[in-house]
Amino acid sequence: MKLSINEYIFSAKEKMNVSFAFVSDLHNYPNGPILDAISSMDVDAILLGGDFIHNNFICERGFEFLSSASKMLPTFCSLGNHEIGYLGDLRKRISKTGTILLDNDFVSFKGISIGGLTSGRFYPENQNQPNVDFLTEFSQLKGFKLLLCHHPEYYPKYIKDLPIDLIFSGHAHGGQWRFFGMGIYAPGQGIFPKYTSGVYEKRLVVSRGLGNLYLVPKINNPPEILKIKISNSY
């Protein structure tokens, strides 16, 4: 299916005019079309919402994407469940690409605090709970706050009541099969998931993602990149 570019515009109380390309769930999707799409956008930075690799054996294309992206624009990434399962020195490999890793951490960019909430999926001792201490710290920052959070299912339990302006997620793969604007299944949400694609409550942005290496094909669910504009005036 043809790669889609979908755009969303959000207003800010603070004086700013910033645009991002948001990419999630690469899962070995070819880099060329993604990079071509981003180069056609007028954006200030690239944000990656996790799962830029698939596993320990299908990962090189993901690291190559980070290298190419960071040569184009400032690039920031958070960690999804597939990165958490990587057995190599993930921090070192990401650092070599020039990409800024946000592992339960945040940076300031053009007046926006950009945070990255790392997946808690492979930590059964805390029942898949993300780092709530980081969330609390991040939410108390002044000014506009943008959070990269791979798992949209974290939103109602951990993020909804916090003063965070925008949350960017993936992981749901658009619900895999989409009918009448709804997904059928998403990991972490189950059958007929609530958060699969688009904007929810005017601040949770969920990407359908790009790659699909599973036996079940995607139906009515083209891969996508998001262009996000944040401004205090349209």
pLDDT > 50? residue 234: no
Helices (H), ranges, 48-88: 60-72, 81-84
pLDDT > 50? residue 46: yes
Give the Cα-Cα-Cα angle 100, 18, 95 (nearest 5 degrees). Answer: 5
pLDDT per residue as tens digits for the range 114-156: 999 999 865 555 567 899 999 999 999 999 999 999 999 999 9
E strands, the chain, are 4-11, 17-23, 45-48, 75-77, 100-101, 105-109, 112-117, 144-149, 166-169, 178-179, 182-183, 185-186, 190-191, 198-200, 204-206, 224-231
Identity of residue 71 = K
Higher pLDDT, 233 or 7: 7
CB 8 within 8 A of CB 228: yes
Per domain, the residue ranges of the chain are: 6-231
What is the model's pLDDT at position 128? 78
Question: What Å distances lie between residue 172 and 8, 16, 153, CA to CA?
Answer: 19, 30, 9
pLDDT > 90? residue 58: yes
pLDDT per residue as tens digits for the range 154-184: 999 999 999 999 999 999 999 999 999 999 9
CA distance 101 to 94: 7
Is residue 173 exposed (0-12), middle (13-18) or buried (19+ Cβ within 10 Å)?
A: buried
**CATH class, range 6-231:** alpha beta
CA distance 116 to 103: 6
CB 115 within 8 A of CB 105: yes
pLDDT per residue as tens digits for the range 178-198: 999 999 999 999 999 999 999
